[in-house]
Amino acid sequence: MTEIHVSVPGGGDQAFLLFPGQGSQSVGMCQRLDHNYAAARAVLDEASEALGFDLRALMWRSTPEVLKRTENAQPAIVVASVAAFRVWYEAREAAPAIAWGAGHSIGALAAAAACGYLTVAEVARLSRRRGQLMAAVPGRGTMLAVAVTSPEARAACLETAQDLGLDVAAVNGQQQIVLSGLVEPVLEAKRRLGARSLLLEVSNAFHSRLMDPVLPEWEQVLAETDFHESGVAYLGSATGSLVHSAAEVAADLRHGLRAPVRWDLVLQQAARQNCGAVLGPGRSLAKMWRSKPRGLSLELVDDDYVKGGPHR
* Torsion over CA: 72, 128, 20, 252 (sign): positive
Count of residues in the chain: 312
d(CA 52, CA 48): 6
Write the single-letter amino acid at 120.
V
pLDDT in tens, the chain (312 residues): 444 544 444 445 789 999 999 989 999 999 999 999 999 999 999 999 999 999 999 999 999 999 999 999 999 999 999 999 999 999 887 777 899 999 999 999 999 999 999 999 999 999 999 999 999 998 889 999 999 999 999 999 999 999 999 999 999 988 999 999 999 999 999 999 999 999 998 889 999 999 999 999 999 999 999 999 998 999 999 999 999 999 999 999 999 999 999 999 999 999 999 999 999 999 888 887 877 888 899 999 999 987 554 444
Is 169 in a helix, a strand, or coil? strand
d(CA 127, CA 26): 17
Q: Which domains are assigned to the chain?
A: 15-137+209-307 (3.40.366.10), 141-199 (3.30.70.260)
d(CA 239, CA 88): 27
How many of the other CB atoms lie within 10 Å of CB of 26? Answer: 16
Is 54 in a helix, a strand, or coil? coil
This prediction's pTM: 0.92
